[in-house]
Amino acid sequence: MFRQFRFSVVLAAMLLAALVVPVFADSPDPTGGATLEANPNAGLNFSWTLMTGFLVFFMQAGFAMVEVGLSRAKNAVAVLTKNFMDGLIGGLAYWAFGFAFMFGGSALASGLSDGNAFIGLSGFLLGGDAYDVTTMELWFFQMVFAATAATIVSGSLAERTRVPAYLAYSFLVSAIIYPIYGHWVWGGGWLATLPFGAGAKDFAGSGVVHAVGGMVALVGAALVGPRIGKYDAKGKARAIPGHNLTLVVLGTFILFFGWFGFNPGSTMAATDLRISVIAVNTFLGGAAGAVAAVYYSLLKTGKIDVTLACNGALAGLVGITAGCAYVAAWASVVIGVIAAIIMIWAVGFVENKLKVDDVVGAVAVHGFGGLWGLLSVGIFADGTYGGVSGLIVGDTGQIVAQLISMVVVVAWSLLTGYAVFALLKLTMGLRATRKEELIGLDASEHGLDAYAGDIITEEAAAGTLR
């Protein structure tokens, strides 16, 4: 009890702190009149950014459905709780701390003046000068990205992680781990200004969102340990079938749909007509990934594994996320196909070599797929957008920047992820007991059954109904 309480004290303190932030700001433009006058397209670009941000928010439902479907019925409530809460807690953490750490010093909007190449230091709680329509627009779009990074980890930890510990994790990842690496790439930090190519480029977050999430998922799943029964006495991995593949496919559709917010929305401007190229590339990357995975499955086993198709699509989408604005249509197809192949390899690598039990394949899809996305920019960027040119047009500088950002994202995510999960293991405890796990987290941690029967009819039949 007290452990949970400790955490809610933090939340309460945060809210209290918000109250003392000045309500009225001096220079900012909370109504937007001045902004619109200065930029007549602000309305269009706000509309685009918010609407695509809404789609990204909806991806939370997709992650929830994929994970719950791939889990067993006895843990459905635990999975749902994690997925429902992580984005919301992460969003509050991003409001209090994360956004300031990520965009402070970027000068992208009012109230974001203080920060350095390593970390941002202004914009906390959206108070003061950050009470501005442009700052709020930026916050909203960035917050749904932070929430996505947080929820990626959930799937790898399913079915045996204590939910309160997971909730504390989601606060910490959104407040600290995600925004600091994000600052380096998107907030004007040191990776963005590397003296190679155009600096490290990651258009919509193959690295910032997916590789961070995937690598944190790797250490998280390693520290929590595999589910009971995942490995046999000889250490050989066994399949533990999920309880509802219909939800997996529904969730993947929702994620694919949301990705059209994720990637095209990352221009944060509909006046940047490259949005159409981005939408096309996003579709092609995902489609090619799914097709590659399905035909791999057919050739290898003679059967089509629909969960592999879903993960193929997701890997393709993750892979194209960094380069979607910089590459041609054909390159998106190639990137998607390769992403699917990497994902299939990585699933086996994580499960059989690293002996890490990743319930949904998050490490393979988001972690390795995200790294491939970063690399692919250095290969396939064709120089038609943003001055980013890769190997195919003879430029060798960009791939150096990309390789550096890949090394950095792996190191940062593994180290900080380890620190967070090790801390939680020591303080709150990460893992349910063997008994709790065997009867299921729903009964033990939540006191609920996701798919309850009808007690009234049973009582009526038994003659005990009053």
Sign of CA dihedral 118, 121, 125, 126: negative
Closest CA to 299 of 340, 339, 352: 340
> Which range of residues in 193-201, 371-379, 409-417, 454-462 is near its own copies by CB under 8 A?
454-462
Q: Is 408 strand, coil or helix?
A: helix
For residues 187 and 117, give the distance between their C-alpha atoms in angstroms, rounded to a whole number.
9
Shortest Å, Cβ 46 to its own copies: 6
Tokens for 89? 């807690």
Neighbours of 236 (CB within 10 A): 10
Q: Are 103 and 187 in contact (CB under 8 A)?
A: yes
What one-letter code names the amino acid at 98? G
Tokens for 132? 């501005």
Shortest Å, Cβ 395 to its own copies: 13
Under rule CB under 8 A, residue 410 binds its own copies: no
Q: Which is nearer to its own copies, 121 or 269 (CB)?
A: 269
| Footprint on residues 143-202 left by its own copies (CB under 8 A) | 143, 163-164, 167
List all residues 6 or more positions away from 352 whose beta carbon is below 8 Å from its beta carbon. Answer: 237
Under rule CB under 8 A, residue 379 binds its own copies: no
Binding test (CB under 8 A) with its own copies, winner from 183, 201, 210, 227: 227
Under rule CB under 8 A, residue 77 binds its own copies: yes
Under rule CB under 8 A, residue 263 binds its own copies: no
Under rule CB under 8 A, residue 462 binds its own copies: no
Under rule CB under 8 A, residue 92 binds its own copies: yes
Binding test (CB under 8 A) with its own copies, winner from 298, 391, 407, 415: 298
Under rule CB under 8 A, residue 10 binds its own copies: no
Shortest Å, Cβ 278 to its own copies: 9
For residues 391 and 2, give the distance between their C-alpha atoms in angstroms, rounded to a whole number.
56
> Which range of residues in 25-33, 180-188, 190-198, 409-417 is near its own copies by CB under 8 A?
25-33
Q: Binding residues for its own copies, how many (CB under 8 A)?
A: 154
Under rule CB under 8 A, residue 426 binds its own copies: no
Under rule CB under 8 A, residue 142 binds its own copies: no
Under rule CB under 8 A, residue 391 binds its own copies: no
Q: 434-440, long-range: CB within 8 Å, 24+ apart, which pairs? A: 434/228, 437/159, 437/160, 437/227, 437/228, 438/228, 439/74, 440/72, 440/73, 440/74, 440/75
Helix/strand/coil (H/E/C) assignment for every residue in 196-209: CCCCCCCCCCHHHH
Under rule CB under 8 A, residue 108 binds its own copies: no
| Footprint on residues 234-253 left by its own copies (CB under 8 A) | 240-247, 249-250, 252-253
Closest CA to 359 of 67, 115, 5: 67
Under rule CB under 8 A, residue 266 binds its own copies: no
What one-letter code names the amino acid at 10? V
What one-letter code names the amino acid at 346? A
Under rule CB under 8 A, residue 310 binds its own copies: yes
Under rule CB under 8 A, residue 262 binds its own copies: no
Q: Which is nearer to its own copies, 110 or 416 (CB)?
A: 110
End-to-end CA distance of the chain: 36
Under rule CB under 8 A, residue 18 binds its own copies: yes
For residues 236 and 44, give the distance between their C-alpha atoms in angstroms, rounded to a whole number.
55
Shortest Å, Cβ 120 to its own copies: 18
Q: Is 453 strand, coil or helix?
A: coil
For residues 30 and 143, give the distance between their C-alpha atoms in angstroms, rounded to a whole number.
19
Under rule CB under 8 A, residue 394 binds its own copies: no
* Contact map string, positions 312 to 351, toward its own copies, x by CB under 8 A: -x--------------xxx--xx--x--------------
Shortest Å, Cβ 355 to its own copies: 15
Under rule CB under 8 A, residue 139 binds its own copies: yes
Q: Which is nearer to its own copies, 202 or 445 (CB)?
A: 445
Binding test (CB under 8 A) with its own copies, winner from 121, 354, 423, 448: 448
Q: Are 142 and 349 in contact (CB under 8 A)?
A: no
Binding test (CB under 8 A) with its own copies, winner from 35, 142, 398, 413: 35
Q: Which is nearer to its own copies, 297 or 405 (CB)?
A: 297
Tokens for 225? 């340990």
